[in-house]
Amino acid sequence: MVATIIDGKSFAEGLRTRIAGHVARLKAEHGITPGLAVVIVGHDPGSQVYVAQKAKQTVEVGMHSEKYELPETVSEAEVLALVKKLNADPAIHGILVQLPVPDHIDPKKIIGTIDPAKDVDCFTPASVGKLAIGLPGPVSCTPLGCLMLLRDNLGDLSGLHAVVVGRSNLVGKPIAQLLLRENCTVTIAHSRSKDLPGLVRQADIVIAAVGRPEMIKGDWIKPGATVIDVGINRIAAPERGEGKTRLLGDVEFASAKEVAGAITPVPGGVGPMTIACLLANTITTASLINGLVPPSDLTA
């Protein structure tokens, strides 16, 4: 069996077209222009690329976009002061502080200061709690993107066995919550799990969110399973020229695609969905802040 390749890039384009329609409607019917502020501290080159993409796509869908680039040396107090200013700004409905932040800044303090009503990353304890008990609010961007791709590929997920490899607050835990809500049987595996290949072999749905290049091999995959590769690992690629790099997922794509029913590539899979879902969450928070019901096609 050769797997269907799940085209996250093209799905994300379609999602952004729908988002642009919702932005136009919010403007025309309610006089609301959804606004997203992205804060980046320091000069991590990877982060620079994502933040530039986020700002560009925010403008393309008709939203108001603000970008704050703070120097590596900025104090924690200055970052907190900026977050508080954005919390109070009525033109801003979403605040994202790009992680990681430099070592002298405590990410928990930053996250704890973001107004949960504007928490488009779904990082604050209030948002995580709402996600867990099914109240309306933003849903973590990468997990939401994975779920949209899964629904598009499989339809109803009820009763399927999902094995999530990774238990981070950013990806593993929230995707497990979402899949449970979809009536999957969910196994969460991590670095202490015994017999990881044996666990993954039971999965109808594999979510790989480990951060280890090509760790999950084709012979771990149950024939016909759907594989969502969240991993983004930048690897040196001297064959492309000096100093060049390429991206690898957490799944060994070449072997897995021979066994899986469907699989996301890296790049072009989950990554573009993450950014589109950030925009979707900004529509959700802008709607909720203004007492409107968020569009059902943009959330989980």
Ligand X SMILES: NC(=O)C1=CN([C@@H]2O[C@H](COP(=O)(O)OP(=O)(O)OC[C@H]3O[C@@H](n4cnc5c(N)ncnc54)[C@H](OP(=O)(O)O)[C@@H]3O)[C@@H](O)[C@H]2O)C=CC1
Q: Is 34 or 143 the residue whose CB approaches ligand X more closely?
A: 143
According to DSSP, residue 221 is labeled S
Q: Tell me which residues in 216-275 interact with ligand X (CB under 6 A).
A: 230-233, 270-271, 274
Query: Which residues contribute to the site for ligand GUE (CB under 6 A)?
Result: 49-50, 96-99, 121, 141, 232, 247, 266-268, 271-272, 274-275
Under DSSP, the state recorded for 194 is S
Q: Catalytic pick from 98, 173, 204, 222?
A: 98
Between the CA of residue 106 and those of 97, 120, 143, 239, what are the distances in Å?
12, 19, 24, 39
Say if residue 212 carries a ligand binding annotation.
no
Which residue in the list 57, 118, 119, 121 is annotated as catalytic?
A: 121
Smallest distance from the beta carbon of 48 to ligand GUE, in angstroms?
10
Locus of tokens 């999957």: 184
State the minimum distance, in angstroms, from the CB of residue 276 to ligand X: 10
Decide if 54 is catalytic. Answer: yes
**Residue 231 site contact among ligand GUE, ligand X, none (CB < 5 to 8 Å, cut-off depends on kind):** ligand X
Is 48 part of the annotated catalytic residue set? no
Residue 283 marked in a binding site: no
Region class of 145: left (phi > 0), else alpha (psi between -120 and 50), else beta: alpha
Does 167 show up as a binding residue in the annotation?
yes
Q: From the CB of 190, what's the least distance to ligand X, in Å?
A: 4
Judged by CB under 6 A, which of 25, 85, 190, 240 binds ligand X?
190
CA-closest candidate to residue 146, choices 111, 117, 173, 119: 173
Instruction: Choose between 187 and 193: whose C-beta lies nearer to ligand X.
Output: 193
> Using alpha carbons only, what angle is made at residue 171 by residues 166 and 172, rounded to the nearest 5 degrees?
35
Rounded Cα distance between 36 and 136, Å, is: 19
CB-count burial class (<10 Å; 0-12, 13-18, 19+) for 78: middle
Instruction: Compare residues 36 and 186 and give the one whose CB is closer to ligand GUE.
Output: 36
Q: Which of 9, 67, 109, 167 binds ligand X (CB under 6 A)?
A: 167
* Residue 145 assigned as binding residue: no
Adjacency order of strands within the sheet including 35-41: 64-70, 35-41, 94-97
8 binding ligand X? (CB under 6 A): no
Nearer to ligand X, 27 or 161 (CB): 161
Out of ligand X, ligand GUE, none, what residue 261 binds, judged by CB under 5 to 8 A for its kind, is none
Residue 124 interacts with, from ligand X, ligand GUE, none (CB under 5-8 Å by kind): none
Nearest to 178 by CA among 131, 123, 120: 131
Are 193 and 166 in contact by the 8 Å Cβ rule? The answer is no
Shorter beta-carbon distance to ligand X: residue 174 or 287: 174
Cα–chain center distance at 220: 25
- Compare residues 124 and 287 and give the one whose CB is closer to ligand X: 124
Residue 194 appears among annotated catalytic residues: no
Tokens of 75: 């104090």
The number of angstroms, rounded, from the C-alpha of 98 to the middle of its chain's C-alpha atoms is 12
Binder to ligand X among 32, 144, 209, 256 (CB under 6 A)? Answer: 209
Contact 98, 53 (CB under 8 A): no
Q: Binding site for NADP(+): residue ranges?
A: 166-168, 232
Residues that bind ligand X (CB under 6 A): 142, 165-168, 170-172, 189-193, 196, 209-212, 230-233, 270-271, 274
Q: Please give the positions annotated as active site.
A: 54, 98, 121
